[in-house]
Amino acid sequence: MTNPNNISLNISHALEFIDGHALNIPTLKILSEDGDILDGATAPDLDKETALRIYSTMRFIRLLDERMQAAQRQGRISFYMQCLGEEAAITASAAALKQEDMIMAQYREQAALHYRGFSLEQFMNQLFSNEKDLGKGRQMPVHYGSNELHYLTISSPLGTQIPQATGYAYGQKLKHIDAQSGELSSEIDNVTICYFGEGAASEGDFHAGLNMAAVHKAPVLFFARNNGYAISTPADEQFKGDGIASRGVGYGIKTIRVDGADTLAVYAATQKAREIAVTTGEPVLIESIAYRLGAHSTSDDPSGYRTKDEEAEFKSNCPVARFKAWLLKQGWLNEEEDEAQKDKIREEILAALKVAEKIQKPALEELVSDVYDTPIPALQKQYEELKEHIKQHPDAYPITAGRIK
Amino acid sequence: MAKMNMLHAINSALDITMAEHPQACIFGEDVGYFGGVFRATSGLQEKYGKHRVFNTPLTEQGILGFANGLAAFGAPALAEIQFADYIFPAFDQIVNESAKFRYRSGNEFNVGNLTIRTPYGGGIAGGLYHSQSPEAYFAHTPGLKLVVPRNPYQAKGLLRACIKDDNPVIFFEPKRLYRASTGEVPEGDYTIEIGKAEVVKEGKDVTVLAWGAQMEIIEQAAAKAEEAGISCEIIDLRSILPWDAETIAKSVTKTGRLVISHEAPITNGFGAEIAATIQKECFLHLESPIERVCGLDTPYPLALEKEYVPDALKVFAAIKKSVEF
């Protein structure tokens, strides 16, 4: 029976409470640590070309992260964030999507952006906030974004992209809804994937976004990266209950939990989730269980809050190595070529870094452009006054003084 | 032309927008079949379907988060916050997200399609949480536009301008006037330019400035002043951000005096910004200090509302003080 509370009542006469962990959601795992398909598991339909593209993206991001982490330590950039330990989760999920699907990321998903085609030069231009940065040098390093690649520019406030993803996905669905019946009349062209960490799942926006998506049936794939830590706060100090996945169930959203270090499991889960979203118009939650091998950011020092033993345990479960082992067994990858490729990429990264750091900063007018579609009168006036001031004191403003018209 | 109250005028502006763009959506708490707590969206769900005019769960941050996403997608997002007092849970989505979308992305993305409608202000015996005027909080945020109409004609033309504007706009609707203010309104489409104040009545002795529901109050005060032989120039600011400093400065240069009135508490109210700017622009023309007649620095009261509000008598007293300085 149903009632106005939208609940199917299952009447009981026993005084029983349901335990917070009662769901005990299973975790999908397909690939063993040695790169074998596990007994009872089915490998997803993943062609050689896609598999190698996933692998080369993971390898590239590892090398980029390693080099730019060092560049921050050298004082060449102000800040950096690695995705060490989560390469498989991010890359394989992005690979299971269409190029035109929207990506709304948190900040640690550079692998998804690279998979889409964001070039080494584009990464560098953003990291050095030079005049070629698509974001015009306004945000800290790693706040990437590209309209062409359908990757929403990163926002520092945590979790804000979650209800936005619901709204964006609803927009993607609108043209497929029959005006008379209000029902989905055809398969949806594109969906939105929304990445966030388990820490962000504590924000009000998470709850607002999931609830809105469930109620209004938005084709959004919520991808929770449960990597064990929110900066220094371990997961057991962040939430109770059965992970983030149980929240999805609570909101009435189809949910799956995957081993986030298993490229094949993440790929299979995301591919299926997308299929559900385009055919039903409904949201899906994927919780990826991985481990953040690196620091939260370059401002963080994980040695202060986790043990060497813990880190070593997870280092042995490297998502890149696991996928590589599978590729080698497939005969799709050659160890010697792989090593040679690595050296070549390292050289390219270093060369691109040297170019990007010499490109000049954005022009002064970028201080006032894009606040509105056109500068409002008060802002235009402030800009004119600033220009005059700089003209009178050019030595104090060497970056812009010589370029003012 | 047709005789409309402010709710009809707003409904008409929304109706035109929904007909114009097949992906425009109206959403908020109770806005669906019920038409919103004040019925501003009445009849629109029947006309455009539940998929385009819909109730949301009770989550202001969810409404604005959703609205930012929908607008970023490119669909006109017409979000309603049931009372301006309840806009604060959405503060982060508005101030950190809507306002900065274009700037932070280098114009890779924007939410220019976003319009937030919200009833504001007192005079309905609503007490602390149904009477606030929070415009100043948002006026401190580059990237937003803020507009306040004073009558049905303004409401329709300004709302249409807000919807067409390629920036996120908050449209504060004076709820006290929803049904109280009626007038002739064109049935077809028209817009009123955002960012321009309107000189409602010309005068020579003192400039009296307000916006929204407070316009009625300053007009009553000006009428008293005229009886006392004081000629008032009355200006409706209409847009809080961007605001028309030029029109105000021109008027004050002529009259030499300025009285500003708003319902929100005086400290850091938007009147403070106007007073500071006009003091700089018109310093040598000022005959007396700029007067502000505003709410007290208290939460909005219930039982003693009459004492609290900047009424016509208080504005008249300020006009006299300014002229007799």
Averaged pLDDT, B304-317 = 97
Could you tell me which of A196, A222, A207, A209 has the C-alpha nearest to residue A283? A222
Q: What is the CA radius of gyration of chain A?
A: 23
Residue A368 confidence (pLDDT) above 90: yes
In whole numbers, what is the pLDDT of chain B averaged over residues?
97
Predicted ipTM of the assembly: 0.96
Round to whole Å and give the CA distance between A221 and A168.
12
In whole numbers, what is the pLDDT of chain A averaged over residues?
95
Inter-chain contacts counted by CB atoms under 8 A, chains A and B: 171
Q: What is the pLDDT of residue A116?
A: 98
Phi then psi for A120, rounded to 5 degrees? -55, -45
H-helix or E-strand spanning residue B27? strand B25-28
Chain A: closest CA distance from residue B144 (Å): 8
Chain B: closest CA distance from residue A320 (Å): 31
The domain ranges of chain A are: 25-355, 362-401
Is B262 one of the catalytic residues?
no
Could you tell me which of B196, B209, B112 has the C-alpha nearest to residue B147? B196
Q: What is the pLDDT of residue B149?
A: 98
The domain ranges of chain B are: 1-183, 196-322
pLDDT over 90 for what percent of chain B?
Answer: 100
Class of domain B196-322: alpha beta
Tens-place pLDDT, residues A22-73: 999 999 999 999 999 999 999 999 999 999 999 999 999 999 999 999 999 9
Averaged pLDDT, B122-141 = 96
Q: What is the pLDDT of residue A6?
A: 84
Check CB contact of B73 with chain A, cutoff 8 Å. Answer: yes
Handedness of CA A31, A34, A40, A43 (dihedral sign): positive
CB spacing of B49 vs A180 below 8 angstroms: yes
Tens-place pLDDT, residues B195-220: 999 999 999 999 999 999 999 999 99
Residue A257 confidence (pLDDT) above 80: yes
CB spacing of B70 vs A168 below 8 angstroms: yes
pLDDT band at A366 (very low <50, low <70, confident <90, very high): very high
pLDDT band at A316 (very low <50, low <70, confident <90, very high): confident
Contact B234, B200 (CB under 8 A): yes
Chain A: closest CA distance from residue B278 (Å): 13
Structural fold of domain A25-355: Rossmann fold (3.40.50)
Question: Side by side, which strands form the sheet with B258-265?
Answer: B198-201, B232-236, B206-210, B258-265, B291-295
Round to whole Å and give the CA distance between B35 and A344.
63
Residue A1 confidence (pLDDT) above 80: no
| Chain B residues touching residue A385 (CB < 8 angstroms) | none
Contact A118, A149 (CB under 8 A): yes
- Partner residue opposite B167 with nearest CB, options A192, A211, A373: A373
Check CB contact of B108 with chain A, cutoff 8 Å. Answer: yes
Length of chain A: 405
Report the chain B residue with the minimal C-alpha distance to residue A366: B106
Tens-place pLDDT, residues A109-158: 999 999 999 999 999 999 999 999 999 999 999 999 999 999 999 999 99
Tens-place pLDDT, residues A216-236: 999 999 999 999 999 999 999
Peptide bond preceding B265 in cis form (omega within 30 of 0): no
| Chain A residues touching residue B73 (CB < 8 angstroms) | 102, 167-168, 170-172
Question: Side by side, which strands form the sheet with B53-55?
Answer: B53-55, B25-28, B77-80, B114-120, B169-174, B145-147, B239-241
Contact A358, A76 (CB under 8 A): no
Chain A: closest CA distance from residue B109 (Å): 7
| Chain B residues touching residue A212 (CB < 8 angstroms) | 56-57, 59, 62, 65-66
Burial of B315 (0-12, 13-18, 19+ CB in 10 A): buried
pTM above 0.80, yes or no: yes
Contacts of A110 (CB under 8 A, 6+ apart): A61, A64, A65, A83, A90, A118, A123, A142, A144
Q: What is the pLDDT of residue A181?
A: 85
Q: What is the pLDDT of residue A2?
A: 55
Residue A366 is given by DSSP the state G
Residue A103 confidence (pLDDT) above 90: yes
pLDDT band at B251 (very low <50, low <70, confident <90, very high): very high
Q: What's CA B257's distance to the chain center, in Å?
A: 24
Residue A256 confidence (pLDDT) above 80: yes
Tens-place pLDDT, residues A374-397: 999 999 999 999 999 999 999 999
**Superfamily (CATH H level) for B1-183:** Thiamin diphosphate (ThDP)-binding fold, Pyr/PP domains (3.40.50.970)
**Token pair for residue A326?**
């599978």
Residue B46 confidence (pLDDT) above 90: yes
- Give the three-state DSSP class for B86: helix
pLDDT over 70 for what percent of chain A?
Answer: 99
